[in-house]
């Protein structure tokens, strides 16, 4: 790249010298007489440049494409991501053909039909058949692309399956907070933005007993591999947008309007280390909706691991209620007893309930406001 820049700089320098010398000559000839028919050398030069530009440009485009290809669409680790990647390259190949053909015609015609003395252009104002052809062909191609794209979109945006594992990601200036449904009931508790304070950053509502075992993290989101994930997304202050490049996930976080994205990650972080050949590989979550000064660094790590180690990890985590016992004052009297085990015994033993059957309709209270 350094060499290219060097070569280009030399070319540009040469052109600059040329321009300056031209300017000097312009000043001299500016007051010269008007010459009506002076189509000549410069017309041929410009016509020739059209073809040169196209050929050199095409070579540069192909070379740079091959050069940059290694970084395109980083390894997809979700089934829907591989599907959209396929559609991307399908569309890309169609538009590449259209790009080359139309640009080739444009520049070739410009060169081929340059001014020739004594020649007259052909009077060719319309041709309905041609118009029809190039209306119908794009229409058919578009119909194909719309149809495949629509099916993919429908599948991606479909309702999450019943057994999906729920997580919540809350955006704030300038970090993400991950909330887990906890190990006891696997349900996210209700929340209310008015309950947010420095102890309770996501505004967990402790009048809902599903909240008791919820725990939060600002550094990592751990998810199990090969299991449908329902990511519930909201924002505390301004718009943010969850972007997980390797999983092809993107969805805005909107204050006052919870959103969601369902996906399955089918490669663990360790597998990705092998695939990418990068021993330090880690999934990352970024923000793609401008949210202020720290927008460019709202990073949170995403760890994809197999189900067993994921559950083991979850069990090591302390519910927020245990780490911030002062929140207990918000628990209504009738639920105090149920909350007791999180408050008295920090080393909570997890119940045997490792199945996910416990997701019932109650857990959906959080999602009532989410859009479909």
Partner 1 sequence: MATVAANSATVAHAEEHDHHEPQSFWRTYIFSEDHKTIAKQYLISGIFWSIIGISLSVMFRLQLGFPAMKLDFLRPILGNWINETGKLDPDFYLALVTMHGTIMVFFVLTAGLSGTFSNFLIPLQVGARDMASGFLNMLSYWFFFLASVIMLGSLFIETGPAAGGWVIYPPLSALPQAHKGSELGMTLWLISMALFIVSQLLGGINYITTVINLRTRGMSFSKLPLTIWAFFLTAVLGLISFPVLLSAALLLIFDRSFGTSFYLSEIYIKGEALPNVGGSPILFQHLFWFLGHPEVYIVLLPALGMTSEIIATNSRKPIFGYRAMIASMMGIAFLAFIVWAHHMFVTGMNPFLGSIFMFLTLIIAVPSAVKAFNYITTLWRGNIRFTPAMLFSIGLVSFFISGGLTGIILGNSALDIQLHDTYFVVAHFHLVMGAASAFGLLAGVYHWFPKMFGRMLNEKLGYVHFWLTFIGIYLVFFPMHYIGISGFPRRYYAFTSYDFTKNIFADMNSFISLAAIFTFTAQWIFIWNFVYSMFKGRKAPQNPWKSNTLEWTAPINPGHGNWPGEIPAVYRWAYDYSKPGAKDDFIPQNVPYSQTPESNLPHENELIGLEKEIEAQNLNDQFKQPH
Residues numbered 154-183 forming contacts with partner 1, rule: CB under 8 A: 154, 156-157, 173
Q: Establish if 134 lies at the interface with partner 1 (CB under 8 A).
A: yes
* Tokens found for residue 67: 């050069």
Residues sharing a CB contact under 8 Å with residue 226, sequence separation 6 or more, in sequence order: 264, 265, 266, 307
Among 7, 14, 135, 345, binds partner 1 (CB under 8 A): 135
Q: Establish if 82 lies at the interface with partner 1 (CB under 8 A).
A: no
Q: Identify the DSSP state of 329.
A: G
Query: How near is the Cβ of 15 to partner 1 at its closest, in Å?
Result: 6
Q: Establish if 78 lies at the interface with partner 1 (CB under 8 A).
A: no
* Residue in 76, 78, 368 with CA at minimum distance from that of residue 223: 78
Q: Establish if 41 lies at the interface with partner 1 (CB under 8 A).
A: no
Query: How near is the Cβ of 356 to partner 1 at its closest, in Å?
Result: 25
Q: Establish if 219 lies at the interface with partner 1 (CB under 8 A).
A: no
Q: Establish if 311 lies at the interface with partner 1 (CB under 8 A).
A: no
216 φ, ψ to 5°? -125, 160
User: Which residue in the block uniquely carries the two structure tokens 């790009």?
Assistant: 99
**Among residues 29 and 334, whose Cβ is nearest to partner 1?**
29
**What three-state secondary structure class fits 244?**
strand
Query: How near is the Cβ of 329 to partner 1 at its closest, in Å?
Result: 18
Q: Establish if 337 lies at the interface with partner 1 (CB under 8 A).
A: no
Pick the piece of the chain touching partner 1 (CB under 8 A) from 144-152, 178-186, 213-221, 320-328: 144-152
- Whole-number Cα distances in Å, 41 to 17, 115, 118, 271, 356: 21, 11, 16, 63, 79
Query: How near is the Cβ of 20 to partner 1 at its closest, in Å?
Result: 10
**What three-state secondary structure class fits 191?**
strand
Q: Is the dihedral of CA 112, 118, 119, 125 positive or negative?
A: positive
Query: How near is the Cβ of 22 to partner 1 at its closest, in Å?
Result: 6
Among 24, 28, 125, 368, binds partner 1 (CB under 8 A): 125
Judge contact between 32 and 95, C-beta under 8 A.
no
Among 51, 79, 82, 149, binds partner 1 (CB under 8 A): 149
**Among residues 238 and 350, whose Cβ is nearest to partner 1?**
238
Q: How many CB atoms lie within 10 A of CB 256?
A: 8
* Tokens found for residue 353: 């309930």
* Residue in 342, 351, 349 with CA at minimum distance from that of residue 323: 342
**Among residues 213 and 258, whose Cβ is nearest to partner 1?**
258
**Among residues 46 and 362, whose Cβ is nearest to partner 1?**
46
- Judge residue 9's burial from the number of C-beta atoms within 10 Å of its C-beta, 0-12 exposed, 13-18 middle, 19 or more buried: exposed
Query: How near is the Cβ of 143 to partner 1 at its closest, in Å?
Result: 8
Pick the piece of the chain touching partner 1 (CB under 8 A) from 204-212, 215-223, 241-249, 327-335: 241-249
CA 223 to chain centre: 19
Determine if the peptide bond prior to 236 is cis (ω within 30°): no
- Whole-number Cα distances in Å, 119 to 48, 113, 114, 116: 19, 10, 10, 5
Mask for 16-35, x = binds partner 1 (CB under 8 A):
--xx--xx--xx--xxx-x-
CA dist 223 and 225 (Å) reads 7
Could you tell me how many residues of this chain bind partner 1 (CB under 8 A)? 129
Among 17, 62, 64, 275, binds partner 1 (CB under 8 A): 64
Among 95, 312, 345, 360, binds partner 1 (CB under 8 A): 95
Pick the piece of the chain touching partner 1 (CB under 8 A) from 134-142, 218-226, 307-315, 340-348: 134-142
Q: What is the maximal distance between C-alpha atoms in the chain?
A: 101
Q: Establish if 238 lies at the interface with partner 1 (CB under 8 A).
A: yes
């Amino acid at each position: 790249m350094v060499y290219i820049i060097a070569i280009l700089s030399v070319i540009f320098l040469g052109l600059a010298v040329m321009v300056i010398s031209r300017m000097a000559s312009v000043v001299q000839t500016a007051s010269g007489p008007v010459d009506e028919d002076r189509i000549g050398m410069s017309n041929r030069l410009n016509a020739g440049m059209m073809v040169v530009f196209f050929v050199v440009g095409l070579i540069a485009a192909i070379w740079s494409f091959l050069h940059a290809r290694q970084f395109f669409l980083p390894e997809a680790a979700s089934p829907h991501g591989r599907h959209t990647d396929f559609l991307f390259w399908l569309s890309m190949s169609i538009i590449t053909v259209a790009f080359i053909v139309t640009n080739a015609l444009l520049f070739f015609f410009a060169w081929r039909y340059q001014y020739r003395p004594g020649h007259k252009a052909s009077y060719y104002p319309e041709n309905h058949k041609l118009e029809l052809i190039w209306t119908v062909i794009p229409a058919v191609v578009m119909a194909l692309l719309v149809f495949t794209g629509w099916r993919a979109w429908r599948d991606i945006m479909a309702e999450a399956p019943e057994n999906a594992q729920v997580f919540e990601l809350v955006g704030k200036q300038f970090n993400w907070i991950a909330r887990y449904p906890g190990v006891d009931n696997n349900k996210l508790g209700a929340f209310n933005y008015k309950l947010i304070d420095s102890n309770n950053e996501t505004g967990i509502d402790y009048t809902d007993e599903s909240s008791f075992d919820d725990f939060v993290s600002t550094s990592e989101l751990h998810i199990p591999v090969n299991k449908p994930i329902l990511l519930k997304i909201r924002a505390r202050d301004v718009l943010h947008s969850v972007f997980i490049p390797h999983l092809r996930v993107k969805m805005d976080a909107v204050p006052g309007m919870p959103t969601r994205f369902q996906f399955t990650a089918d490669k663990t972080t360790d597998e990705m280390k092998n695939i990418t050949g990068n021993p330090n590989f880690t999934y990352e979550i970024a923000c793609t909706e401008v949210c202020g000064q720290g927008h460019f660094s709202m990073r949170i790590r995403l760890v994809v691991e197999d189900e067993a180690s994921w559950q083991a990890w979850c069990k090591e985590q302390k519910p927020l209620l245990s780490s911030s016992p002062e929140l207990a004052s918000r628990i209504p009297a009738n639920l105090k007893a149920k909350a007791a085990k999180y408050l008295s015994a920090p080393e909570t033993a997890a119940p045997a309930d490792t199945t996910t059957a416990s997701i019932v309709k109650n857990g959906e209270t959080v999602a009532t406001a989410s859009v479909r």
